[in-house]
Structure 1
Amino acid sequence: MMRWRSRSVSFFALVILVGGCTAAHSGEPSSEQPAAADVVKVSTPDTSPRPNDPGLDAKLAPVVSSAVALAEIPAAVVFVVTPSGSWAEAYGTRAFAGTDPVTVDDRFRVGSVTKTMVATVVLQLVEQGKLSLSDKVSKFYPEFPDGEEITIEQLLDMRSGLFSYTEDVSFNETLDDNPGYVWKPAELLAIATSHSPYFEPGNGFRYSNTNTVLVASIAQQVTGETLGDLLQERIFEPLGLHETSFPADGDHTMPVPSPRGYLYGTNVSALQTVQLPDAQLQAARTGALFPHDVTELDPSWIWAAGGVISTAADLATYARALVDGHLLTHEIDRLRIESLGQLDETNPATIRYGLGWMSFGPMIGHDGAIPGFQTFMGREPASGTTIVVFCTMRDSPTGVRPANEIAKNVFRALHEN
């Protein structure tokens, strides 16, 4: 039985601010460091860019060039690794209408690919007995609305019913009007709980950034560590992801080298549609309408749900470890794979969601879409092929997610006879 409206949102926010999350966001090192057995050590192959495989170049270069042009975006990076070779290319410039070319080594905000990392940390904690998938949110936050009914598993597979704070109008107004504002996770959760849930816990599926913010807050509470430290110790360091980082509170800068990120319209207008009206679309195509530079929108607004910065090579390394089961024990990894259901072996447009990751046809990974950047990361277990795409615009002027569209074209080109 849902009792949402009987809870006091302001009281909940106060509990979170002065309770379990306070130490986790103090910026001070924890006195409780993980034991050696808590950190997974992984040996992964070198996926750094090499000279393009001639066969892949002949197959992919014309297809990707056409897809990038059709996307009408300032810049893109495409990185493909197959058992027979690799292929990497960069397109466009770091600044809109600029002259400095983007490179395959540039760093990008990866958006919701971050969710796979956070979920992996949570599943590692499950392996270690520090969490259980059946644990209720109320175990950690007794005052959380309907926390006695929402489980860790439902947070990971987007079946909690929690409203996504990123759909709140006033929240998006703040993103537009005060992009440097530093959000606290408690504020994001308070916005979410000020709205009725989409459905009762477990009675549906709805993608919600609130789920990841909440489960990350729980991970911080049970470990006594910041999310940044957890990602560094459990994902970045074991895999040698030296160009991958999670921004500290209030750090809205991008490491060098990196491109700028752009957005047509506003965050508020995007709640209605991300497709430009015909007149604006024509103006964008003729150069009469410029997109907004949103590179330095403070990433605290997305935090655990999308804050990581990385390179294409690092994400390719991570995708292999993630999908091939190098970050979890066999039992938990098998459970995670089963959460996706039957993979569609032929159609990359078939999307399913599992325990903190997605399948795109036969590929497993995640995409990411935040103002200024759009990312696709997928690996096909059967063939051992990995595709990573970065774009410097979340939505093309026509309203499509450019990295996903480019990745589909790459997949189809690779599977042509």
Structure 2
Amino acid sequence: MRRIPARRRRLFAAALLVASVLAPVATAPATAVPADHTAPASDAGPGPSGGFGPELTARLDRTIEDVRVQAGIPGLVVGLWMPGKGRYVRATGVADKVTGEPMSTDLFVRIGSETKTFTVTALLKLVDDGRIKLDDPIAKYIAGVPNGWKITLRHLAEMRSGLFPYTDDADFQHDLLSDPSRTFTPYEVLSYGYTHKNTFAPGAQFQYSNSNLILLGLVVEKVSGHRLVDFLEKRVLRPAKLRHTLLPEGPEFPEPHPRGYTNQTLSGQVTDSTDWNPSWAWAAGAMISNLEDLRRWARIVATGELLSPQTQAQRLKFLPTGFPGTAYGLGIMNSGGWIGHNGSIPGYETVTVYLPKLKATLVLMLNTDITSQGQEPSSLVARAITQVVTPDNVYDRPVPPRVAAPALLPTR
């Protein structure tokens, strides 16, 4: 087995998890750009922000810029919509650290583990079609899965399968980081995880594993008879009217997009990962979207607009993760009452969540996944914003112990 320094293994394993603890890495502060540098979102009316009033708007400006600079986030987009109260849409920092091009709100970004909400929605469409059942064993559809006759589709979607996460495998990490342009197939990445014993009996506990979502993507393909990219387009993206969201087949990346910066490298040095091939993440974390589409998707996925009420109720059966404040359903999480998912993939992080009781939506897009004081930068921003606008519902995704329990938020 190829050996990678333990610190590198820990850093990369978090790269596909919804929550992870990584060794803190010092980063130079990004060049500050005035917080009022914005471009309007499509539904933002005559301007990108309005309704919160000058005092609250100024407080949000200061809070967001303070977190961005302190966490070393090069560029950040924030979209906050609260019916009856107002909207706040801002871009701050830079999209390119070399040219100094400012961040703007009309950019595409890689959304990492937010892909899981789309893949599981596709799976649940097949449930509504009567073509699969959540309690079917994965072995009914995909051969060769360790303990596959006891692991159900439900176990996979709720992160309780016990399958070893392939992104935690040292050989996988070495092979990807040695050649980030490489194309991986779903069965190739699964094979890395299969070299390890399952970590627990199905349903016994929560463990965030990208292996689960790769398998669910394969189930969608086998049952539907269509490639995942085509099924998503026809049954999920088109009905949701998401015209700027896609599952790439390689490193393609629509313009305009910011440069992405990561330290998920063999050396630990910060590098530009914009054009890395995300095929290794596929159904678990390879998708691309923009602010407008993520705003729409936050409400759609949280309210079950594309699903039957019965199936959506199954999706929202949140179970404990072992981390206070955060529960997980079927490819969706609940953090402080905010329902949705976050994403992290080398170079980019996102958060897309919806607060049902206020019908509020929060979307964040960052062009780095480098942690600050052991915490993901997107979580720091989301926590700070919700402490200001919804103090009774603070997005506070926990920082779990890394090695023993890979956790719940990048693709991670």
TM range, smaller chain = 0.7 to 0.9
Amino acid at match of 1:409: A
Q: Determine the C-alpha separation between the residues in 2 that align with 1:180 and 1:217.
A: 23
The match for 1:331 is 310
5 Å-filtered alignment, 1:72-221, equals: 72-84=72-84, 85-221=86-222
Q: Determine the C-alpha separation between the residues in 2 that align with 1:91 and 1:142.
A: 48
Give the match's secondary structure for 2:112. Answer: coil
The match for 1:53 is 50
Report the TM-score, using the length of structure 1 for normalisation: 0.79
Q: Determine the C-alpha separation between the residues in 2 that align with 1:52 and 1:182.
A: 41
Alpha-carbon displacement from aligned partner over 1:1-32 (angstroms, at most 9, x marks no partner): xxxxxxxxxxxxxxxxxxxxxxxxxxxxxxxx
Alpha-carbon distance, 1:48 to partner: 5.2
The match for 2:366 is 391
Which runs of no fewer than 5 residues in structure 1 stay unpaired?
1-44, 270-289, 343-347
Alpha-carbon displacement from aligned partner over 1:280-303 (angstroms, at most 9, x marks no partner): xxxxxxxxxx72011111110101
Alpha-carbon distance, 1:103 to partner: 0.6
Contact 1:68/1:406 (<8 A) preserved? yes
The match for 2:291 is 312
Amino acid at match of 1:80: L
Give the match's secondary structure for 2:255. Answer: coil
Contact 2:206/2:320 (<8 A) preserved? no
Q: Determine the C-alpha separation between the residues in 2 that align with 1:81 and 1:325.
A: 19
The match for 1:378 is 353
Amino acid at match of 1:110: I
Query: Is 1:300 aligned with 2:301?
Result: no
Query: Which range moved further: 360-369 or 390-399?
Result: 390-399
Give the match's secondary structure for 2:239. Answer: helix
Amino acid at match of 1:186: Y
Q: Determine the C-alpha separation between the residues in 1 that align with 2:312 and 2:159.
A: 18
Alpha-carbon displacement from aligned partner over 1:350-409 (angstroms, at most 9, x marks no partner): 111111101111100001111111111111000011111111111235332111110111
Give the match's secondary structure for 1:316. Answer: helix
Q: Determine the C-alpha separation between the residues in 1 that align with 2:381 and 2:79.
A: 11
Q: Residues 131 and 47 (structure 1 numbering): CA distance in 2 closer, same or farther, change over 3 Å?
A: farther
Q: Determine the C-alpha separation between the residues in 1 that align with 2:83 and 2:213.
A: 33
Amino acid at match of 1:256: E
Amino acid at match of 1:314: D
Contact 2:80/2:360 (<8 A) preserved? yes
Q: Determine the C-alpha separation between the residues in 2 that align with 1:200 and 1:315.
A: 35
Alpha-carbon distance, 1:63 to partner: 1.4
Query: Is 1:261 aligned with 2:260?
Result: yes
Write 1 or 2 for the structure with the bigger share of helix. 1
Alpha-carbon distance, 1:267 to partner: 5.8
Q: Residues 268 and 48 (structure 1 numbering): CA distance in 2 closer, same or farther, change over 3 Å?
A: farther
Q: Determine the C-alpha separation between the residues in 2 that align with 1:155 and 1:186.
A: 16
Alpha-carbon distance, 1:47 to partner: 4.0
Q: In terms of Rg, which structure is larger?
A: 1
Q: Determine the C-alpha separation between the residues in 2 that align with 1:110 and 1:219.
A: 20
Alpha-carbon displacement from aligned partner over 1:304-344 (angstroms, at most 9, x marks no partner): 001110111210100111112211111111222223579xx
Alpha-carbon distance, 1:265 to partner: 5.2
Contact 2:317/2:330 (<8 A) preserved? no
Q: Residues 328 and 314 (structure 1 numbering): CA distance in 2 closer, same or farther, change over 3 Å?
A: same
Contact 1:340/1:359 (<8 A) preserved? no
Give the match's secondary structure for 2:62. Answer: helix
Amino acid at match of 1:82: M
Amino acid at match of 2:188: E
Contact 2:261/2:370 (<8 A) preserved? no
The match for 1:36 is none
Report the TM-score, using the length of structure 2 for normalisation: 0.80
The CA RMSD over aligned residues, in Å, is 2.1
Contact 2:264/2:346 (<8 A) preserved? no
Amino acid at match of 1:408: R
Give the match's secondary structure for 2:171. Answer: helix
Contact 2:108/2:289 (<8 A) preserved? yes
Amino acid at match of 1:304: A
Amino acid at match of 2:110: R
Q: Determine the C-alpha separation between the residues in 1 that align with 2:200 and 2:369.
A: 28
The match for 2:235 is 234
Query: Which range moved further: 150-159 or 318-327?
Result: 318-327
Q: Residues 377 and 233 (structure 1 numbering): CA distance in 2 closer, same or farther, change over 3 Å?
A: same
Amino acid at match of 1:376: V
Give the match's secondary structure for 1:89. Answer: strand
